[in-house]
């Protein structure tokens, strides 16, 4: 190997690592914070319990991500006999990338979209809508599929689920304090010498943690999207096909009637963690980088690939 064209992207690596680190720190801060606030009365176990609860919910979502997402999008699995072109395309891409072939699903909706989900590459599902099948050319569809297969190969469902567990724990606490489910904090709070009630402190800490985790998750999701674009473009060697697909899809979502958008929106809201919507191809949600950012990166890859040799 004289020279590799596949040089790393240091900026992406640094940002990804920073965000992951901050999310981890946030999780620890939540557990320690809760332990300190209520620790005096209930022991430090409660903070740990809340943390474990967040992890458990996240784990459940991750383990069932394929079923939940397929049901939410009303998608069904298709066999090679039903969709030979789609399967042929994915077969070749998987052989190029040397990864196990995921199951293939089709959702009957005119909204152009595609998503990948599943707890591991062995249990993954790649799903496209009938809208995207009708809208894109074969090359563009291949670019989109390569993007989704990159999500599978990068284990993005796992990463996003782990990253969202702090947010889930904080969200549970926020709801709990609002509805008084954690009312037993109040009993201790009145014994405090005139300070803020403990339940209010818990609420404030959880809200703050939830807000920070929300922003960090969006950041992380955007970097994962860029990483998937990049890997997908290198896999197909056609950054231009993915670029034109992205342009068509963003345009297409604007053109689709309001009713369909709301239908899909309601389905996505079924999931607490943005893990599922986070690995879809919708560019208009805040979990995705802007179209210009993605096109810029693809243009850079294009320039690198077409650089003359020697």
Of 148, 292, 296, 304, the active-site residue reads 148
Q: Name the minimum Å distance from CB 247 to another protein.
A: 16
Query: Phi and psi of 106, rounded to 5°?
Result: -130, 130
Name which of 207, 173, 208, 162 is nearest 19 in CA terms.
Answer: 162
Q: Name the minimum Å distance from CB 264 to another protein.
A: 26
Q: Name the minimum Å distance from CB 151 to another protein.
A: 9
Encoded tokens for 276: 């599922």
In this complex, which beta carbon is closest to another protein, that of residue 210 or of residue 223?
223
Q: Find tokens 């894109």 and name the residue.
A: 136
Q: Name the minimum Å distance from CB 176 to another protein.
A: 32
Q: Name the minimum Å distance from CB 241 to another protein.
A: 8
What's the distance, Cα to Cα, between the start and end of the chain in Å? 14
Compute the Cα dihedral for 76, 77, 82, 84 and give only its sign.
Answer: positive
In this complex, which beta carbon is closest to another protein, that of residue 1 or of residue 258?
1
Encoded tokens for 98: 């040397």
Distant-in-sequence, close-in-space partners of 283: CB < 8 Å, separation ≥ 6: 246, 249, 250, 253, 289, 290, 291, 294
Rounded Cα distance between 281 and 116, Å, is 9
In this complex, which beta carbon is closest to another protein, that of residue 16 or of residue 205?
16
In this complex, which beta carbon is closest to another protein, that of residue 154 or of residue 248?
154
Taking a C-beta distance cutoff of 8 angstroms, is the pair 305, 239 a contact? yes
What residues line the site for another protein (CB under 8 A)?
1-6, 8-9, 12-13, 16-17, 20, 84, 88-89, 91-92, 95-98, 100-101, 138-139, 142, 150, 153-156, 158-159, 223-224, 227-228, 230-231, 234-240, 302, 305-310
Question: CA separation (Å) from 113 to 2, 83, 224, 244, 281?
Answer: 40, 17, 17, 14, 6
In this complex, which beta carbon is closest to another protein, that of residue 88 or of residue 265?
88
Residue 148 annotated to the active site: yes
Q: Which positions are catalytic?
A: 148
């Amino acid at each position: 190997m004289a020279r590799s064209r596949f040089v790393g992207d240091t900026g992406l690596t640094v940002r990804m690592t920073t965000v992951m680190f901050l999310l981890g720190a946030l999780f620890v801060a939540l557990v320690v914070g809760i332990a300190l606030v209520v620790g005096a009365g209930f022991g430090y176990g409660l903070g740990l319990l809340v943390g474990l609860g967040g992890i458990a919910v996240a784990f459940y979502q991750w383990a069932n991500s394929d079923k939940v997402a397929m049901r939410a999008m009303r998608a069904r699995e298709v066999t090679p006999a039903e969709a030979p072109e789609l399967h042929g395309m994915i077969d070749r891409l998987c052989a190029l990338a040397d990864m196990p072939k995921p199951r293939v699903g089709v959702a009957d909706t005119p909204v152009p979209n595609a998503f990948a989900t599943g707890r591991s590459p062995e249990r993954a599902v790649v799903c496209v809508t009938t809208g995207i099948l009708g809208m894109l050319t074969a090359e563009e569809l291949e670019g989109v599929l390569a993007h989704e297969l990159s999500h599978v190969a990068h284990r993005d469902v796992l990463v996003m689920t782990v990253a969202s567990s702090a947010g889930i724990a904080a969200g549970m606490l926020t709801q709990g304090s609002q509805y008084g489910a954690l009312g037993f904090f109040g009993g201790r709070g009145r014994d405090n010498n005139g300070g803020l009630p403990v339940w209010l402190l818990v609420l404030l800490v959880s809200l703050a943690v939830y807000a920070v985790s929300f922003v960090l998750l969006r950041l992380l999701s955007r970097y994962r999207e860029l990483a998937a674009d990049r890997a997908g473009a290198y896999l197909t060697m056609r950054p231009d096909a993915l670029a034109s697909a992205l342009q068509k899809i963003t345009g297409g979502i604007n053109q689709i009637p309001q009713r369909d958008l709301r239908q899909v929106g309601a389905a996505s809201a079924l999931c607490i963690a943005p893990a599922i919507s986070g690995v879809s191809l919708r560019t208009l949600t805040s979990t995705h980088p802007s179209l210009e950012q993605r096109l810029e990166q693809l243009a850079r890859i294009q320039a690198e690939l077409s650089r003359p040799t020697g």
